[in-house]
């Protein structure tokens, strides 16, 4: 087989080009400290890295949402703690004034003013807000949910936020659940349903018919409203109705137990929120390690490979001088 000068030249140039290509790739890796500088370097690895970067961006948004949810839940818990203190003070007053021996008309008139202040404080707590958003209004967060008379003006909406992929958490408690021991039989709940019905009629909504329940319906549980009870206690103190003052003790206990249960609900949500944040942090740490193993270059190995390619390149240049035969032009110089 005859080997021409042209084939020798192409062989030499191909060897030089391949060696320089590998050297250029290694030099780029040493400069950027990345193995993946283009999708062609590792298509499968590049796709995985892009997927993890997308997850990282999503996790960042989830953590931002988590901070907002945490702020809502913490302020809700503080508001419930304030309501609990109000109820405990009201019960203390009712206990002191429940006996005619230990209380007089003057003292009842005096503490009635304190109960009035407790009522106003409860209304202010019910209208707690973060920035311009009210906590206990349900979806109606732009207007005060509790009127000066203690009437609930919000709805029964619960704001759900996505804490992780397909993981949702409610960050608020509708006021009718907080201010009543049995919300479904409360006047607040009935008022909310009437407003929803009017809105449906205005927007021509149609809901599917609900089949009636079989069997004997249980009698509805008695509801106790926080604002009504405080107003009733004040009225009993002003009129000297010892029986009503004594009856208010059990109702205040029921209200306090309901507030404690709502705080437990908020606490469980806060715990779930913390667990979700910890899971996101662990997942992000795992992704960072995996991304580094795929994308980052081993500096020592890169420099070693670069030195080896330089040696190979010098050898290719030296061998090419001997492979390419001298021509007549070389002798005419």
Three-state DSSP state, 170: strand
Two tokens, residue 136: 């206990």
pLDDT tens figures, 247-270: 999 999 999 999 999 999 999 999
- Nearest residue to 233 (alpha-carbon basis) of 219, 250, 218: 250
22 is written with which tokens? 């590998």
Give the separation between CA 51 and CA 53, rounded to whole angstroms: 5
What tens digit of pLDDT does each residue of 125-183 get?
999 998 889 999 999 999 999 999 999 998 888 999 888 888 889 999 999 999 998 88
Q: What is the pLDDT of residue 332?
A: 58
Residue 214, class by beta-carbon neighbours within 10 Å (0-12 exposed, 13-18 middle, 19+ buried)? exposed
**Mean pLDDT over residues 221-248, rounded?**
90
What residues contact residue 195 under an 8 Å CB cut-off, 6+ apart? 155
Whether 212 shows a pLDDT value over 50: the answer reads no
Residue with tokens 């061998």: 319
Q: Please, is 265 exposed, middle or buried when counting C-beta atoms within 10 Å of its C-beta (0-12, 13-18, 19+)?
A: middle
pLDDT of residue 286: 85
Rg (CA), the chain: 38
Residue 61 DSSP SS3: helix
């Amino acid at each position: 087989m005859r080997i021409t000068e042209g084939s020798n030249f192409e062989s030499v140039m191909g060897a030089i080009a391949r060696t320089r290509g590998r050297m250029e790739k290694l030099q780029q890796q040493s400069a950027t400290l990345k193995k993946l500088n283009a999708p062609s370097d590792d298509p499968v690895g590049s796709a995985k890295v892009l997927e993890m970067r997308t997850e990282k961006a999503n996790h960042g948004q989830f953590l931002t949402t988590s901070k907002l949810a945490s702020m809502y839940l913490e302020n809700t818990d503080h508001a419930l703690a304030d309501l609990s203190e109000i109820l405990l003070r009201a019960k203390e007053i009712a206990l002191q004034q429940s006996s005619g021996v230990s209380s007089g008309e003057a003292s009842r008139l005096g503490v009635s003013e304190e109960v009035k202040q407790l009522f106003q404080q409860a209304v202010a707590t019910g209208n707690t807000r973060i920035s311009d958003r009210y906590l206990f209004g349900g979806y109606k967060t732009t207007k005060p949910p509790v009127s000066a008379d203690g009437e609930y003006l919000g709805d029964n909406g619960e704001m759900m936020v996505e804490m992780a992929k397909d993981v949702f958490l409610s960050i608020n408690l509708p006021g009718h659940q907080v201010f009543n021991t049995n919300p479904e039989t409360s006047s607040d709940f009935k008022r909310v349903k009437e407003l929803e019905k009017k809105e449906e009629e205005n927007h021509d909504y149609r809901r599917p018919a609900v089949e009636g329940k079989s069997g004997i319906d249980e009698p509805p549980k008695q509801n106790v409203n926080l604002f009504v009870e405080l107003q009733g206690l004040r009225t009993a103190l002003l009129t000297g109705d010892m029986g009503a003052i004594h009856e208010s003790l059990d109702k205040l206990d029921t209200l306090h137990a309901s507030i404690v249960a709502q705080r437990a609900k908020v606490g469980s949500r806060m715990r779930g929120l913390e667990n979700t944040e910890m899971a996101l942090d662990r997942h992000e740490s795992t992704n960072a390690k995996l991304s580094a193993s795929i994308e980052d270059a081993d500096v020592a190995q890169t420099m070693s490979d670069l030195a080896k390619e330089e040696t190979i390149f010098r050898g290719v240049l030296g061998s090419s001088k001997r492979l390419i035969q001298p021509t007549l032009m070389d002798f005419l110089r």
